[in-house]
Amino acid sequence: MSHFKLAVAQIAVKKGAIATNIREHLRVIQQASAHQVSYLVFPELSLTGYEPELAGQLAITDDDSCLELFKGAAVLHQMFIVVGAPLKGEGKPYIGALIFTPEGNVLSYRKMNLHPGEDLFFQPGKDLQILNINKVKVGNGICADMNSEHHAQQYAVLGADIYVAGVLITEGGYADDTAKMAADAEQFNMLVAMANYNHPTGGWYPIGCSGIWSPEGLLVSANEIDTALVIAEKTAQGWQGEVRIIPDAAVLNDIT
């Protein structure tokens, strides 16, 4: 890759319908490829929806056969692709992010900081996950990690240029959560980005408004409704942002 573009995908998914949700992910990945995205991140638990009660039965491993399409897409499009899924563990599953690389490898990150109540269904991860891509260091998180006092700081110590997470954020939490993201971007001199849902999942009503913050403030954000790619491109003049709207797919018309 001779350039670097980060994108967060704002999408809707169908409850527990992994096959349907994979098709939606692949549709969005195709659009991201058309815009030469280098690193694409989907919301928290995007393959299943945010469904803690179903996580135990839906949990997968990083070599599950359902992931082969993502491995192929990452190689085909020469793109890092980060999708959310419950990951099997000894005992409770993890809230995970699977990272598919352009070389055909699969890496993973497990959410380290759980929201109150998530510990009934999940266990926390223990390790950070940072990647060095064309001299751009990307630190990965998931939702409540971004509320942690130390998570972004730990990545900053490792030299991260970007801190990005798949999330589920509602209207009630949006102002405080994004203020923290903006503050981290300024304090640690890095790009901070989050991919949110734009449709209810797990009884929650996400606000959409996926966004990317530079050290100078909000760089770009989506609206509350549209399926979209929110993109930041690294240029000689600094980070530049744009939003690309993706028409909704008919297959998701019956989301519940």
Strand (E) positions, the chain? 5-10, 39-41, 80-87, 94-100, 106-110, 130-133, 136-142, 162-166, 191-195, 211-214, 217-221, 228-235, 238-245
Better pLDDT: 203 or 236: 203
Q: Which fold has domain 5-252?
A: Nitrilase/N-carbamoyl-D-aminoacid amidohydrolase (3.60.110)
Q: How far is CA 237 from the centre of its chain?
A: 26
Q: What are the pLDDT digits (tens) for 228-240?
A: 999 999 898 899 9
Q: What are the pLDDT digits (tens) for 15-39?
A: 999 999 999 999 999 999 999 999 9
* Integer Cα distance of 52 and 111 in angstroms: 14
Which residues have a Cβ under 8 Å from the Cβ of 148 and sit 6 or more positions away? 112, 113
On the question of pLDDT at 254 being above 60, the answer is no
pLDDT, averaged across the chain: 95
Q: What is the mean pLDDT of residues 130-158?
A: 97
Token pair 């991260």 is at which residue? 160
pTM (two decimals): 0.96
Residue-level pLDDT at 35 = 97
Q: H helices then E strands: how many in the chain?
A: 5, 13
Residue-level pLDDT at 252 = 54
Residue-level pLDDT at 37 = 98
Residue-level pLDDT at 253 = 53
Contact 44, 166 (CB under 8 A): yes
On the question of pLDDT at 121 being above 60, the answer is yes
Q: What are the pLDDT digits (tens) for 65-79?
A: 999 999 999 999 999
Residue-level pLDDT at 248 = 80
Residue-level pLDDT at 2 = 53
